[in-house]
Structure 1
Amino acid sequence: MIITSSDNQKYKYISKLKSKKFRDKENSFIIESKKLVEEAISSADVDFIFLSEDNKGYESNLEKIVFSNNLFNKLTNLVNPDGFAAVVKKPRQKDIKGKKVLMLDQINDPGNMGTIIRSAEAFGFSDIILLANTCDIYNEKTLRASMGSIFRLNFVYKNIDDIKNLKEKYKIVSADMSGYDINEFKSDEDLILAIGNEANGLSDEVRNLTDIFVKIPMQGKIESLNAAIAASIIMNKLS
């Protein structure tokens, strides 16, 4: 059956999931593109997939909803959608167990967030702490930029008191332009790498908990790097 009416309950449900408030209420989010859908099928808890009429022949063991091309295009956030999408359940938070953990302090740009997540997987940071005022990791731009890494990492929401407790096990290393050269930093200790806001850097609370600040040495007249690039370089150095 091809759904052609916007009064359809599944259509209304998917439309509501574009809102962060509704995503939080339902503990679900939308992904788009065949690549991400197939990544999710192999790595996540997919509720159902939904397709454009052009892809009605796609075979899956999951529940499959087919919308007319017109209705699907109203649901998509992509300029050139390929007609593949799915609703996925948010994973449960797990205990932090990694020796190297990433902590994001008020990262605001969804594209930066997705790139950082992708790099975290590449460099072995399987646990990511999200502090208050950090952007929604289930934003469509974050999901696209993460290229599927978001399905394979452990995301935990913590406050400053939680971080204080983690200092019993972890050393906090924070990225800051006034820090030590990352190329000279060596440590065998379990550590949390803190990356701050794109414009304002680290919050005072995180600064006060930091054991050591590190920076990336740069040449020319460059004063700073994009947060995602900086995070990626430092994670690579620490891996």
Structure 2
Amino acid sequence: MKKYRDKENSFLIESRKLVDEAIASSAKIDFIFLRQGVSYETGYKTLVFSETLFNKLSSMTSPDGVGAVIKKKEPREISSSKILLLDGINDPGNLGTMVRSAEAFGFRDVILLPGTVDIYNEKTLRASMGSVFRLNILEKNFEDIKKLKPSYKVLSADMDGLDIRDYKKDSKIIIAIGNEANGLSKEMREITDDFIKIPMEGEIESLNAAIAASIIMNRLM
């Protein structure tokens, strides 16, 4: 639960693959926990739970019996020329996919505005495939974004924006993606320098937010 993640400054991950990613990314691991009968070679402190208890604790339908408790990473100062900003993203799977794409396309800093789902939600962590451990993820407000504007150009995804194929790249950019159902907040619209859109054919009205974010980041990488 988020309130306990915040209280303990820790979060839980599950699956052998995600634990491998955490170790490879030098995440600060409190301990690893296993389901009885499962083997996992590690030098970290390890707890073994009965099958009944492990399955009760797990959020997965078919857990593989490996998990870990990780300390949250302290955010760093923004240092990259390309930033992904997420404005009220509600779906944890979308958030995790966007973070994964951000790493793939060189967006090393990710800003989460108020109303965005918790980055340490278990579904977000699984969808990120380990990118959460490697990127600089910060929680900011609209006043913080205004302070970045002298150095960065703010581009927001919007159906009425400029065709992204016609957009001339800037050296330092913030790409803003709005809420899946309602789009950009009023405050984000007021901060935006330019609105951009992805051209589409057929009868499609819009793309999934994570797909749209991935396409835009790829175009502007």
Q: CA deviation at 1:80?
A: 0.5
How many Å apart are 1:58 and its aligned residue?
2.3
**Which one has a bigger Cα radius of gyration?**
1
Match of 2:215 in 1: 233
1:58 & 1:225 partners in 2: Cα distance?
40
Give the aligned partner of residue 14 of structure 1.
none
Q: In 1, Cα distance between the equivalents of 2:137 and 2:50?
A: 35
1:6: which partner in 2? none
Rounded Cα–Cα distance in structure 2 between residues aligned with 1:184 and 1:64: 54
One-letter code of the match for 1:29? F
- Verify: 1:85 aligned to 2:39, yes or no: no
SS of the aligned residue for 1:214 comes to: strand
Amino acid at match of 1:117: V
2:159–2:197 contact (8 Å) kept in structure 1: yes
The alignment's TM-score, normalised by the length of structure 1, stands at 0.91
Alignment of 1:61-80 (within 5 A): 61-80=43-62
Residue 50 of structure 1: which of 33, 37, 61 is its match?
33
Higher mean displacement: 127-136 or 185-194: 185-194
Give unpaired runs (5+ residues) of structure 1.
Answer: 1-18
Q: CA deviation at 1:70?
A: 1.0
Which residue identity does 1:75 align to in structure 2? L
CA RMSD of aligned residues (A): 0.7
The separation in 1 between residues aligned to 2:78 and 2:116, in whole angstroms, is 19
Q: Report the 3-state secondary structure (helix = DSSP H, G, I; strand = E; otherwise coil) of the residue aligned with 2:158.
A: strand
SS at structure 2 position matched to 1:25 = helix
The CA deviation at 1:59 is: 2.0
1:33 & 1:128 partners in 2: Cα distance? Answer: 24
Residue 120 of structure 2 is matched in structure 1 by 138
- Deviation string 1:27-63 (CA, Å, 9 cap, x unpaired) is 10000000000110121111100000121x4221100
Letter of the structure 2 residue corresponding to residue 106 of structure 1: G
Structure 2 residue aligned with 1:164:
146
- Give, in angstroms, the shift of residue 183 of structure 1: 1.1
Give the aligned length. Answer: 220
Distance in 1, Cα, partners of 2:122 & 2:40: 23
Provide the TM-score with structure 2 as the length reference: 0.98
SS of residue paired to 2:159: strand
2:34 and 2:171 map into 1 onto residues whose CA distance is: 48
- What are the within-5 Å matches in structure 2 for residues 1-239 of structure 1? 19-43=1-25, 44-55=27-38, 57-239=39-221
Cα shift readout 1:157-212 (whole Å, capped 9, x = no counterpart): 11111111000111000000000011111223301000000000000101001000
The answer as to whether partners of 2:40 and 2:66 remain within 8 angstroms in 1 is no
Q: What SS does the aligned partner of 1:113 have?
A: helix
Output the CA distance in 2 between the equivalents of 1:181 and 1:58: 50
Range with bigger deviation, 57-66 or 170-179: 57-66
CA distance in 1, matches of 2:62, 2:211: 27
Q: Which runs of 4+ in 1 moved over 4 A?
A: none
Q: Deviations over 1:53-89 (max 9, x none)?
A: 121x422110000011111111100100000000001
Which amino acid in structure 1 is aligned with residue 107 of structure 2?
Answer: F
Secondary structure of residue in 2 paired with 1:54: coil
- Give the residue type in structure 1 aligned to 2:30: D
User: Structure 1 vs Structure 2: percent identity of aligned residues?
Assistant: 64
What corresponds to 1:16 in structure 2? none
User: Equivalents in 2 of 1:144, 1:179: separation in Å?
Assistant: 32
- Whole-Å separation in 1 of the counterparts to 2:94 and 2:40: 33
Using the alignment, how far apart are the partners of 2:117 and 2:128 within structure 1?
Answer: 14
